[in-house]
Amino acid sequence: MGRRKKAPIDQAARIDYQTRMKRMRLERTLRLGDIARELGMSESAISRIERGSLVPSDLTKNKLSAFYGCGFEELMHPAEG
């Protein structure tokens, strides 16, 4: 049995997502370690998500949304305007 192919990543959405995450963290004057401890992840993983070198799982996206107090869709695709 072969491995399943991953769905293609929407590069624009990923960039928007990582930029939004970092901006939200900095607006709250949080460090990578603050988020990592709260979510039970490594600082490195949070940093890699913010840089776009790690695509978070749906579970991690949901944890991040809850941490930042917004819905998953709002974090991934905020309303325009």
Nearest to 44 by CA among 29, 56, 36: 36
Is residue 81's pLDDT more than 50? no
In the chain, which ranges are continuous DSSP H helix?
11-27, 32-39, 43-51, 58-68, 72-76
Q: What domains appear along the chain, each with residue ranges and CATH number?
A: 11-75 (1.10.260.40)
The Cα–Cα gap between 24 and 46 comes to 13
Q: Identify the band that residue 13 occupies on the pLDDT scale cut at 50, 70 and 90.
A: low
pLDDT of residue 45: 95
Would you say the pTM of this structure is higher than 0.85? no
**pLDDT tens digits, residue range 25-53?**
999 999 999 999 999 999 999 999 988 89
